[in-house]
Amino acid sequence: MTPPCSWPGAAFSRFSPLTLLSAPPPSHHPHHPTERDTAMTEYKHFRRRTAALAAAVAAAALVLTGCSTGTSDTSATSSDTATPVPGGTLKVAFWDDQQGCIDPNQVYWIESRSIDRQVADSLTDQDPDTGKIVPWLATSWTVSPDATQYVFTLRDGVTFSDGEKLDATAVKTALDGTFALGAKSILGLTYLAGYGSTTVIDPTHVQVNFTKPNAAFLQATSTTTLAILAPKTYTETPEQRCAGAIVGSGAFTLDNYTAATSAHLTKRAGYAWPSSLVKNQGAAYLDAIDVTYIKEDSVRNGELTAGTIDIAWPRQPISDADQQVIKAAGDTIESRPLPGISSIIVPNVTHGGPLSDANVRNALQKSIDRKTYASTIFWADYPVVESVVDSTTPFATDESSLLAYDPDGAKKLLDAAGYTVGADGYRYKNGQELTLHYPLVVSGPGEQLLQDQLKQVGINLSLDVVTSAQSTKKLAAGDYDLTGTYLTRADPSVLGSAVDRATSKAASAVNSQDAATAGAVSKLFAAGLQTSDDTARAAAYGDVQKQLISTGSAFPIFERVQIAGVSSKVHGFAFTSEAFLRANDIWLEQ
């Protein structure tokens, strides 16, 4: 798990996510606090830059159309034919570090995982373009047909930065240690679902056993969450590891880390075991990486164009206007959709409210003008969401036909549900206004535009601004009609963390489907985890996406995109499959 161009898009999260220009509401899902309240805090710093956007939203409310000029570069890897020059320190400024943890096995914070990717290697890697899993610390593997047993052959000659050799015992120690973290490893809970044990066959062969099928585990082995750290690391307390007591086998070592303040990484001499996805198969070109945190977008972008930093990495997508300023200074924009759950809203169908009626849910689906949303809240060619997962997620399907904007069709469905239009333009049934309550910690331009769109068909979307504590209570009590969620991971099984009632106790899963729909959805998720056959997995997850949308169990709002401003001095910039930074190929003009 883990965003596809920022959430973070949303995140996304990378939001984280993430990454949302219009911050989504907190999802309060136990598996991803990283991508629930974070954008809310940032919004306070962002509001000064949204006055013009608010005006655009107001205009869009009148005509329900919107556009903006400007484009953004979209590539997973920068092409560069110049000869790399060794040396120099890369200066990266992230938005914030709200989790305050740097242990890859524990951390869910997207920005921290970008740092971890430079320090810690994984058994496998994932191709950003194809989603294919390729060798890294493991040269090959076999998977049982029922996806309950994985056997990895390990690479020779790999050492951790403390000199200890990578072997099967080290892998067992790492997986056992991550599993033992329990809830302290928020993402690991899902990645290791059904974990039974790890068996050392011999020094170069290790077998991982599950008590139930987990076909998503192979992709999980490519993530920072299941990165393999030196055995010494697992003798430290979780708190010490969060504070920086970690030893990896990566191209850089972590010299120091101060939560929410800075981190310093140094090139590791002799590094020679990157994945095949890395062009530079030896030690890093950079001497070091300096990380700082700058919350204010304008300050961060200003330091980029002034040459004080080399990469400006925001939580929210860099606005079109700011992108033009960055480009005018000779710098570049890099972007990638964050894989995983798109920014979605899910209904509460269980408390007898309006959304317990399928006609009302389907009307709501048809009332959302996603193309206008993308062009108004972001910019003219911002990608329009096509499913409940973002486009970079393996097995994502294009469900645009089910998401088509059709206000006339929505009105007919509301008529059929017994709601008639009143003098104020809203619909009523038995004297009760058709009002949908949407608790939010912050109401931004995106929510306000959505409110205006629903008003066109007679639905009153009530944006109920509450505190985080109040929001948590409302979700736990089922005292809401709509709530939002999103999560980053380059595997469609991530959807189950938010909407599969059989595996998740989150409100977004428990309350979003009636019993029949929940049963069908859970059956499809189970099918996706029970086989390692890609064709079968693709069919199951394709059906999941259709089922969630066609039953009104999830309402995709926008694609989450990670965007970074990159100095013209930086060559070899690359995103990982989950839109994290990969620095192996980066070099600086001296």
Instruction: Give a three-class secondary structure readout of 319-330.
Output: CHHHHHHHHHCC
pLDDT at 80 (0 to 100): 67
> What pLDDT, in 10s, does the model give residues 110-123?
999 999 999 999 99
* Three-class DSSP category at 538: helix
Rounded-to-5 percentages of helix, strand, coil across the chain: 30, 20, 45
Report the distance separating Cα 573 and Cα 76, nearest Å: 9
Q: Which of 226, 293, 268 is nearest to 92 (CA)?
A: 293
CA 552 to chain centre: 22
In 79-136, the DSSP E strands lie at: 89-94, 124-126, 133-135
- The owner of tokens 């994985």 is 150
DSSP state of 349: -
Report the distance separating Cα 354 and Cα 11, nearest Å: 29
Q: Does CATH place domain 24-70+339-559 in 3.40.640.10?
A: no
Q: Which two tokens stand for residue 38?
A: 């974070």
Q: Which of 512, 453, 521 is nearest to 481 (CA)?
A: 512
Q: How confident is the model at residue 316 (pLDDT cuts 50, 70, 90)?
A: confident
The enclosing H or E element of 342 equals strand 340-347
- Is the pLDDT score of 104 beyond 80? yes
Cβ-count burial 503-525 (b if 16+ within 10 Å, e if not): bbebbbbbbbbeeebbeebbbbb
As a whole-number percent, the residues of the chain with pLDDT over 90 amount to: 85
Report the distance separating Cα 420 and Cα 552, nearest Å: 21
Provide mean pLDDT across the span 95-101. 96
- For residues 3 and 19, the answer to whether their CB atoms sit within 8 Å is yes
- The owner of tokens 């049934």 is 429
> What pLDDT, in 10s, does the model give residues 27-39?
333 333 333 344 3
Q: Which two tokens stand for residue 342?
A: 């798109």
Of residues 27 and 395, the one with the higher pLDDT is: 395
pLDDT at 503 (0 to 100): 87
Cβ-count burial 543-563 (b if 16+ within 10 Å, e if not): bbbbbbbebbbbbbbbbbbbb
- Is the pLDDT score of 162 beyond 50? yes
Domain residue limits, the chain: 24-70+339-559
pLDDT at 81 (0 to 100): 77
- Is the pLDDT score of 77 beyond 70? no
Of residues 31 and 286, the one with the higher pLDDT is: 286
pLDDT at 79 (0 to 100): 55
Report the distance separating Cα 16 and Cα 95, nearest Å: 11
Residue 323 has φ and ψ, to the nearest 5°, of -60, -40
